[in-house]
Amino acid sequence: MSRTRGALALAMGTSLLLWASSFVAIRAVVREYSPGGLALVRFGVASFVFLAWALARGDTMRRPAARDLPGFLATGIVGITIYHLALNAGERTVSAGVASLIVNLNPIFTALIAALTLGERLGPRGWAGVAIGFTGAAILSVGQSGGLRLEPGTGLVLVAAVAQAIYFVLQKPYLTRYRPIEATAYAIWLGTLFLLPLLPAALADVRQSSTAATLGAIYLGVFPGAVAYACWAYVLSRMPAGRGPSSLYLVPPIALLIGWLLLGERPGALALLGGAVALGGVALVNAGRARAREITPAGPPRAECA
């Protein structure tokens, strides 16, 4: 038991650290790479890592059913293609720490989408959290731009947060029939397929950019793009669904610290205030969703998939 807990803690800590570092690495690499070139190089590398894993695992990597391919295609386009193009473009002007704070508004968007499409109830706490979260996002925008206007980069990162929320909702049904690492691999492979039209830009970026920038793109593919997802799959397989994601609240402060130490991006007081308000709203949204589930009358038991 202690060995399992130690492995779980190691996997969770690895995911949090690598995902926090990804915001800083993206911010550094997009100084030389185009948003599309970085996305393709990163997920080309990640796709190769998952392919190597699938070949090593042999028959244990199940092929997706034909009826599930459209769903996996949608998750790949939204969660890989759109999310990372928007995030990379946004981080050209938005600091790593602020970008991580905005992206971590995705539980609010997830709750709203789930309420509209899956019939999940938010409850009073949830709706209060939505209002507080959007207030925090507004403060973050002002703190980032220095005035009462929405920076284009901030808007793109908000698009990334919405895309990630849609990705979570789309992926949810498939996690009852596939292992998390399988569902993630299919999404990454299909999402990378739709990045292939950007191959000329990616090749030009590789030729023109410094070795350090290219190594940064490879790092993003191997570690935050593949290793972190694999570690998180292990976490999800060993923990209740509601407990694991709550630890992702640690990503923004870690990203802020790494960005400060490595890039000298010291967050302003207004940005920190907005981040604190936004994360408070996210916490309330999750509390509201949990409370709504508690008061919803229980239906007949459902069969669990192995």
User: What is the reported pLDDT for 62?
Assistant: 85
54 found inside a domain:
yes
User: What does the CA dihedral 40, 45, 46, 48 come to, rounded to 10 degrees?
Assistant: 120
**141-170 per-position pLDDT tens digit:** 565 544 445 567 888 998 998 898 888 778
User: Which one is predicted more confidently, 145 or 42?
Assistant: 42
| Residues 213/57, Cβ–Cβ less than 8 Å | no
> What pTM was estimated for this model as a whole?
0.79
Q: What is d(CA 137, CA 144) in angstroms, rounded to the nearest whole number?
A: 10
What is the CB neighbour count within 10 angstroms for residue 221?
A: 24
Residue-averaged pLDDT of the chain: 79
Q: How many CB atoms lie within 10 A of CB 240?
A: 7
Q: Which of 121, 99, 102, 101 is nearest to 111 (CA)?
A: 121
Is 158 inside any structural domain?
yes
CA distance 241 to 180: 12
Instruction: Give a yes or no: residue 250 inside a domain.
Output: yes
Please choose, from the candidates 48, 6, 26, the residue with its C-alpha nearest in 3D space to the C-alpha of residue 255: 26
**Cα–Cα distance for residue pair 175/189, rounded to 1 Å:** 17
Where does the pLDDT of residue 195 fall: very low under 50, low under 70, confident under 90, or very high at 90 and above? very high
Residue 250, pLDDT > 70, answer no
Instruction: Please check whether residue 305 lies inside any domain of the structure.
Output: no
Asked whether 257 and 95 are in contact (CB, 8 A), the reply is no
Per-residue pLDDT at 164: 83
Q: Is residue 306 part of a domain?
A: no
Whether pLDDT at 18 is above 90? yes
- What's the pLDDT score for residue 287? 63
The per-residue pLDDT for 22 is 94
Number of structural domains the chain divides into: 1
Instruction: For residue 113, count other CB atoms closer than 10 A to its CB.
Output: 18
The torsion angles phi and psi of 91, rounded to 5 degrees, stand at -75, 0
How far CA 223 is from CA of 80, 116, 202, in Å, comes to 15, 34, 19
Domain that holds residue 125: 2-294
Domain-located, residue 18: yes
HSE-CB at 39 with a 13 A cutoff on CA atoms is: 29
